[in-house]
A and B are shown apart, each in its own frame.
Chain A
Amino acid sequence: MPGIFLRSDAIVVLSLGGIIFGLVYFAYKKMGYIEELKKTNSSLNTKLSELDAQAKIIIKTDLELNRTQEELDKRITTLLALQKFSQRLAGVLDKDTVFANIEESLLEDLEFSSCLAFLKNNGDIEVKSAINIRQDFLKEDFDFKKILDILEEKNIIVGSIESKHLLEITQSIESQLSLTSFIIAPLKINEEIKGALVLGNLSKDLNEGDKEVAEITARQISQTLENITMFEKLYQSQRELEQRIMERTKELTNALNKLERANKLKNEFVSAVSHELRTPLTSIKGYASLLANEKFGSVPQKVKTRLERINLQADALVELINNILDISRIESGRTEINITKNNLSMSLKECLDLLTPQAKEKNINLNLNAPPGLYANFDKSLIERAIVNLVNNAIKFTPEGKNVELILQDFEDKVKILIKDQGIGIAEEDKENIFKEFYRTKQATNNNIKGTGLGLSLVKNIVKAHKGTIEVESQIGQGSVFIITLPKT
């Protein structure tokens, strides 16, 4: 029994020992597992911490990226806003409109909250724009001039309420404009500071980019103001010029009116005198003719010869008076011009036929070079008279045996009539004057060629009445060409 007891004790002891061993072993195992878990946990925590650290890096990078994007966005927005502003200023021609274009939306795009713009005006200061600034807060003691003085030295002012170096102005800017940060840029006209543009914010700090924007905006405004000033000057001088032209035109018109009145009086006088002369001249010519024809009895041959001369001179005088009357009538518009469609080729031929006997007397070849059946609108009797006059002159001034040619040229909307001779020619200094009334060239006088000095004047008036032109080309000793240009219609 004791042995059994001993054995059972031993069993108990052994059993207890086994349990304890088992527990110890289990505890040992559990400890190992806990350690494992701790290790895993620690590793997980490390990984999570690493994740967090990576998150911080990502956020930092993202923040940088965002800043860059924001800066880029801001630059794009600013550029677009400035471009829009510039376009709006492009056509502006008065100063008030320039400042009216500074709107709240522009400030928003430029990232400013407030704006104050002022200009000097004859020693005073004129506020031209105040956005988000209460003008009634601007007291009389707001030192605009101080701002302009500082701008003379610094060119641009960037400041905030903390800017100690700008103490002279920051206090009033803070209290009266309610700005905590600001940029002041000068408004210049022709390099002279005429005012300033104050752009500011209530809270935001201003940076280099804001300074650039303020400078560009002020420059745009300055450029427009400068353009306006130039335009105003130009406009003023143009007005003065216009005024002077108007005055001068008025003077010239008056002078022309006087001249026209004098010319009219002259024409009336000439017309009246010519009429008065023609009546007694007709009597003289009639009586001389009757005497020469011995209607009042026979007259000696010497007397008869003198009477025939009186008759001839009276004829010349009648022609002279007729020419004067015609010129006077055409100039004064009293002659009715009857422009109709006529065969110009035929008219020229008729003129030549009329003068052929005269040409033959001087053994002068009279030629016509004209396309047949060329029609134009003209007064037949007047133009024929002008041609006869010119061809007659050509015959008179052309030496015997030479040629006189009448040429007709057709153009699209005009015709040219050329009267070409091989006469004595016209000196250069005479060319300007030959169409003047009673003007006689030296060659004509020296060569004792008779004339009244009215023929060419009459021709010129006839051509002018047809809205045509007459010109002359000539060389002494070589001959002359008179060119009449007439519109076809």
Chain B
Amino acid sequence: MGSDRNIQIAAALSVNRYSLEQAVKECSVKIKSQIKTGVIDFCLVFFSLPKISLDLPGEIKRILNPASIAGISSPYLIYNGEILKYGIIIIGFSGINPVVYSLTNIDQQTSAEIEENSRKALKGVLRHKMFSLMLFSNTAVNNNALIEGSQRMLGKSFPILGVSAARKNFTALQPLLTNYQIHNSYLLKNSAVNAIFRNPTIDYHYSIRHGFNPIGKTAYITEKEKNVIKTINGIPAASFYLRYFESNDSPKAADLREKLFMLYPLGIETADSQKILIRRPIRITPDKSLVLSGGIPSDRVRIMISTRQSLISAAGESAETAMQKVNNPKIAIVFDSVSRFKILGAEYKKELLELKSKLGNIPYAGILSHCQLALLESAEPRGSMYVQEHNICTLVIGEHKNARYFFKK
């Protein structure tokens, strides 16, 4: 479980679009130059390639030879202040050896099946566990089974940080584009890859923020079913929502609605009314119900609004909170949302600069995600897991202040 080596983490990017082998080699050279032991236990991979190749996990395995690999594709990558459309980011971990398992066909599995399959994959290795990083296909974003099953298996308040990659064309009118995951030597789709970190030498924290504020009066959901709001204040949910925008039903209005959903999502208060979760409507059904990505934790609903500055400040807050709570931080993994990227437009660079200012000199890498699975605001061992949208989540991994005692053991 433990390791007799101290923790070393190195991130590398290659933008070589034409040779996969060359791209992995470029990353390998950079990682190996920073990890002095030369032994890489675990690789976390984010990739965006013009053409997907089944060889990618094999190449990483062959060239870097890690014990385990977890990865996810996304149309946009984040790497040290840049947003990239094409590239491979490999984060090499030495002295950290998480348990990695995968679940396939996640869009069709029930929560009981998820639980059972997770249990089979883990085979009782869960006596010591700290947190998990779950990379899952965007085919599962409307399926609460993944979160429920995983929580039943890992514990209701176990800090899972899940991320689903963004869709390339950010509109619900377009079909979801294929999103790939990597588990060791396999390239998967419609899957979830979960890496459970368990080394006590790790210090970590994640913090998730959205930067939206409620506007208008609180309304009440009067009829709902799973992730569908049927009526609000006794009237069809879509009618209630759209009356804020004087929107109509013309074909052009469909595009506008997409934009409204992104700019002014719904905010649903948590059961204890402590926080407001962002819920972006996915579509309007013929009976004018609103279909959401995540579950509906309470009946109190608001219209949410943001400014570019409030979004940027939220990013800074997320990074700052995570950094403050981690001893000897070594890397930040950032899961930003594609919707924020769209709202920030040309000012997205400012958000990356804000992150940089809070993260200092540690490297950061990540993806633009569709949504995240996370505890309410931070990785505190309490509370419930929620599907979170329009958020930015910063996971900082460092070395525990007592790591040297663990090493001695």
Contacts and interface: CB of A to CB of B under 8 A. Distances in A.
B211 to A, nearest CB: 14
A72 B345 CA distance: 9
Given A55-B303, A59-B303, A63-B263, A203 B255 contact: yes
User: How many B residues touch the partner, as a band?
Assistant: 20 to 34
Interface in A45-94: 48-49, 51-52, 55-56, 58-60, 62-63, 66, 69-70, 72-73, 76-77
Given A52-B217, A56-B244, A70-B345, A62 B85 contact: no
A66 B173 contact: no
Interface in B233-270: 244-246, 252, 255, 260, 263-264
A55 B216 contact: yes
Contacts, number: 47
Nearest to A205: B252
A59 B215 contact: yes
A76 B346 CA distance: 8
Contacts of B245: 59-60, 63
A69 B345 contact: yes
B305 interface: yes
B303 A51 contact: no
Contacts of A73: 345-347
A471 to B, nearest CB: 68
A298 interface: no
A9 to B, nearest CB: 56
A59 B305 contact: yes
Contact of A77 (B244, B255, B346): B346
A60 B345 CA distance: 19
A105 interface: yes
A471 B396 CA distance: 89
A66 B347 CA distance: 12
Interface residues of A, number: 23
- Summarize A's interface: helix, strand, loop or mixed: helix
B17 to A, nearest CB: 11
A205 B255 CA distance: 10
A146 B155 CA distance: 67
A203 B252 CA distance: 10
A66 B263 contact: yes
Interface in A27-51: 48-49, 51
Contact of B305 (A58, A108, A205): A58
Contacts of B347: 73
Interface string A205-247: 1000000000000000000000000000000000000000000
A72 B346 contact: yes
Contacts of B343: 66
A73 to B, nearest CB: 4
B173 A203 contact: yes
B305 A62 contact: yes
Nearest to A50: B217
Nearest to B262: A66
Interface string A104-128: 0100100000000000000000000
Contacts of B252: 205
Contacts of B215: 55, 58-59
B15 to A, nearest CB: 12
Nearest to A113: B169
A51 B255 contact: no
B346 A55 contact: no
B305 A51 contact: no
A204 B216 CA distance: 31
Contacts of B263: 62-63, 66
B85 A59 contact: no
Contacts of A72: 346
B244 A55 contact: yes
A100 B218 CA distance: 55
Interface in B334-349: 343, 345-347
Contacts of B305: 58-59, 62
Nearest to A49: B217
Contacts of A48: 217
B361 to A, nearest CB: 29
A77 B346 CA distance: 8
A109 to B, nearest CB: 10
Nearest to A72: B346
Nearest to B264: A59
Interface of B: 85, 173, 215-217, 244-246, 252, 255, 260, 263-264, 303, 305, 308, 343, 345-347
Given A51-B217, A70-B345, A204-B255, 4 more contacts: A56-B216, A59-B305, A76-B346, A205-B255
Query: Which 7 A-B pairs rank lowest in CB-CB distance, beginning with the nearest?
Result: A55-B216, A73-B345, A73-B346, A48-B217, A55-B215, A52-B216, A76-B346
9 contacts: A51-B216, A59-B215, A59-B264, A63-B245, A63-B263, A72-B346, A73-B345, A203-B173, A204-B255
